[in-house]
Chain A
Amino acid sequence: MTRPEDGGPVGRGSPGGQGGQSRGGQRGGSAGDHGEEPRGGPGEGPRAGLGGQSPEGQFGGPAGGRGEPTGGQPGGPQGKRSARPEGPSGAAGVGVRMDAPARDATPARRTRARTAPSGGWRVIAGKELADNLLSIRFFVLLVVLGLAAVAAVSTAASAIRNAASAASGSPSPFLLLFTSSPGQIPSFVALIGFLGPLVGIAFAFDAINNERSQRTLPRLVSQPVHRDDVINGKFAAGLAVVSVTLVAVTAIVAGVGILRLGITPSPEDVARLLVYLVLAVVYLGVWMAFAMLCSVTMRRAATSALVALGVWLILSLFGALLAGLLADVIAPVGANPTVAEQVHNVQTEHAFSLISPMSLYTESTAALLNPQVRAVGLVLPQQTDQAVASSLPLGQSVLVVWPQIVALVAACVVVFAIAYAVFLRQEVRA
């Protein structure tokens, strides 16, 4: 499963302005740090729990005692509700969950003064998180991934020890633990690149359709939560569990590596590793969002799992092949190709390969975990001529692969937004 890009710092680069500089303009863009919580949820803070509502007496008759707001929040709930930030991007206009614009301020005074439960998505996420962490699939994935990762790192560690003299020139042998793959076993990052999507898919492929088949969805959406709280909460819980898995596995691996190598990571190494972890969570988030989309659109969990896994396998195994084929069609290379033709062909192939989240992940990881990588994609000899091999600081490394990072985050957000929009438009009844 090793791919050419895996450890090789400069395997393929790209000419021209592909360096860091031309990319500055994109920085202010949409990326932010969508990693953990792409949805608008968190803004709900200000709602006061149950303030002012006296629990007794609510049942005392159809109208008795409910007339006036009990606490000091005349017409309170509305203002807060409408202040709630909308969901992601275009999906906000779907309209099912809009409630309480200013015009119903008057009826509100007659209704209960009880405020909304603070963030339904948080309650849902809490339950889902508990379910996920106690599930067998979490345990199995953690063990499988952990064992594979330890195997990968042990091999890498042995190789690094055996070639200690060669490694000594490297700016950070600690990070080599994660990126080098000396034998048959792929490196740790390649392993996450290949197996990671499985984890993402595992925690989302049955998110919504399971609620349908257990017939809990109608009950869930008839509680005072927005409908998007359901999908937001589940996605947030999934990301949390994926983060836990990744952090746990990385920590185990780092521990094993430190023991076997006897080197301690520098602060910069740790920082790079943390940035890498965030990126890996986003990468798994893309697959989780896709699996979520499958779970929304497909009634049966088995179908949903098959489709998600199928797409994952096709993109992982045949993505490069497909990109090559497409490139040959669009930018054909003749019998006596010119250099320009070849370059064009390779660049086209590279562009197509970036449709696969795995390519985005692999390229950004290559730069993030190897300070010596200064470009990704096709690099011509002229461009490296006279270049002095040196290490980049973390910020510059991030800059090198900024477009890939942005694309990965965007893919996650867009796929989730589609799942979100489809879910909000669906009928509750199957």
Chain B
Amino acid sequence: MSATSKASAKPAISCRNLTKAYGHTTAVSGLNLSVGRGEVFGLLGPNGAGKTTTILMLLGLTEPTKGTVRVLGLDPTKQALQVKRRVGYLPDAVGFYPTLTGRANLRYTARLNGLRGAEAEQRIDEVLELVGLSGRADDRVSKYSRGMGQRLGIADALIKQPEVLILDEPTVGLDPQAADQVLATITSLAADRGVTVLLSSHLLTQVQAVCHRIGIFVSGSLVAAGTIDELAAAHGGRITIEVGVHGGDPSDILRRLDGVVDVRRDGDVFLVGAQRDVREQIGQQLGRAGFVLVHLRQRPEELGQIYRRYFSESDHDAA
């Protein structure tokens, strides 16, 4: 058991000074990253920021120009097969053989992973069930919608029962409902099975919904990494609280609260900029002053602001 616990203390993924250059353009520069076992990590950044290149290096599908990568303690460049045996990968815009059925596509993947016969069929059924495609498994993939294709991609990545799951833009092109399903699947995989998940996305809300930690990628560099709170704190710790009341304008009361920086009105809602979560105090004070509190919540798109701030900073740097 001691060996096991030692292994779990090691990060599932670690990169040190990872750099990839194509000719004169640098796709990824000096990336330092560590993802613990069982963690869900989100790589956030606009298209072309180097997310996919990073992922390809993690899988040993492209060689780093400089720096080191370790996935499950293995070097993906030199031990590619061992890494690929234990890491499931959903590529950006995944494709399947259109003339084969969904099940046949998965069967091919299973065979490539050395699975055959009853064991393979059982796993195929299992992953199809998990992504909710059991009913359509025997249709040709050419008849699948984009969302079904994406879900089949996740099923495909799960066939090998990976310890690490790498998902490149798992929700791109999906309608909100399908995206939610996919995200719920990811969350339950991490929670129930202890799978380490690394996902990339340019959609903040989704990353925010499922990831424990987030790394923000801008033009090849990781400009920030941490939990959402840490990222917020790193930038002055401003949070926004929405307050809705009946019975007048509570701005003055709100301004007097400790920790509140400013108060703005946005339609029926007052936006309170604060250094920390002051919702409790807001509730108490407004109640005492005779207001009826009808709405109180912390704005979820905090990450969006952080994200935009980082991007505008890097734009300035570039300019």
Contact = CB atoms under 8 A, between A and B. Distances in A.
Interface of A: 49-50, 55, 58-68, 77, 81, 96-101, 104, 107-108, 110-112, 114-118, 120, 123-124, 126-127, 131, 214-216, 218-226, 427-429
Given A215-B94, A216-B97, 5 more contacts: A100-B81, A117-B115, A218-B61, A222-B91, A224-B82
B156 interface: yes
Contacts of A64: 4, 194
A226 B59 CA distance: 12
A416 B119 CA distance: 36
A219 B156 contact: yes
A87 to B, nearest CB: 15
A62 B8 contact: yes
> Which are the 6 A-B pairs with shortest beta-carbon distances?
A215-B95, A117-B114, A62-B37, A218-B91, A223-B112, A63-B8
A220 B59 CA distance: 12
B67 interface: no
B8 to A, nearest CB: 4
Given A59-B193, A67-B4, A67-B7, A224 B81 contact: yes
20 contacts: A60-B193, A61-B193, A62-B37, A64-B194, A68-B3, A111-B86, A116-B81, A131-B97, A214-B96, A215-B93, A215-B94, A218-B89, A222-B89, A223-B84, A224-B82, A224-B112, A224-B160, A225-B84, A427-B62, A429-B62
A214 B194 contact: no
B78 A100 contact: yes
A395 B74 CA distance: 54
A428 B89 contact: no
A124 B109 CA distance: 10
Interface in B100-118: 108-109, 111-115
Interface residues of B, number: 55
A282 B26 CA distance: 44
A100 B1 CA distance: 26
Contacts of B4: 63-67
B233 interface: no
Nearest to A63: B8
Contacts, number: 149
Contacts of B221: none
B38 A62 contact: yes
Contacts of B153: 219
Nearest to B149: A215
A219 B73 contact: no
B227 interface: no
Given A215-B94, A216-B95, A61 B80 contact: no
Nearest to B39: A62
Given A118-B114, A219-B109, A104 B38 contact: no
Contacts of B193: 59-61
A120 B91 CA distance: 20
Interface of B: 1, 3-5, 7-8, 12, 37-38, 52, 56, 59, 61-63, 72-75, 78-82, 84-87, 89, 91-99, 108-109, 111-115, 119, 153, 156, 160-161, 163, 193-196
A225 B73 contact: no
Contacts of A77: 82
Q: Is the interface of B mostly helix, strand, loop or mixed?
A: loop
Nearest to B59: A222
Contact of B74 (A49, A55, A111): A111
Contacts of B156: 219
A81 B73 contact: no
A55 B119 CA distance: 8
Nearest to A100: B79
A123 B111 contact: yes
Contacts of A117: 111-115
A61 B37 CA distance: 9
Given A219-B156, A224-B85, A110 B3 contact: yes
A110 B303 CA distance: 39
Given A50-B114, A112-B86, A214 B97 contact: yes
A427 B12 CA distance: 25
Contact of B163 (A50, A62, A123, A428): A62
Which secondary structure dominates where chain A touches chain B?
Answer: loop
B111 A97 contact: no
Contact of B61 (A107, A118, A221, A225): A221
B28 to A, nearest CB: 13
Most buried by A among B3, B4, B89, B114: B114
B3 to A, nearest CB: 5
A223 B37 contact: no
A99 B161 contact: no
B246 to A, nearest CB: 50
B150 to A, nearest CB: 12
A110 B7 CA distance: 8
A216 B108 CA distance: 12
Nearest to A122: B111
Given A55-B119, A61-B193, A99 B81 contact: yes
Contacts of B38: 61-62
Contacts of A110: 3, 7, 73
Contacts of A101: 78
Contacts of A220: 112
Contacts of B161: 58-59
A429 B37 CA distance: 28
Contacts of A55: 119
A373 B59 CA distance: 58
B278 to A, nearest CB: 38
A115 B115 CA distance: 11
Given A62-B163, A99-B79, A104-B79, A219 B114 contact: no
Contacts of A225: 81, 84, 112
A96 B63 contact: yes
B79 A214 contact: no
Contacts of B80: 96-97, 99, 226
A67 B3 contact: yes
A200 B84 CA distance: 33
Nearest to A61: B194
B196 A81 contact: no
A219 B81 contact: no
Contacts of A218: 61, 89, 91-92, 94
User: Of A61, A62, A220, which is in contact with the most chain B CB atoms at under 10 Å from its CB?
Assistant: A62
Given A63-B4, A127-B108, A428-B61, A112 B79 contact: no
Contacts of B91: 215, 218-219, 222
A218 B56 CA distance: 9
A291 to B, nearest CB: 20
B61 A81 contact: no
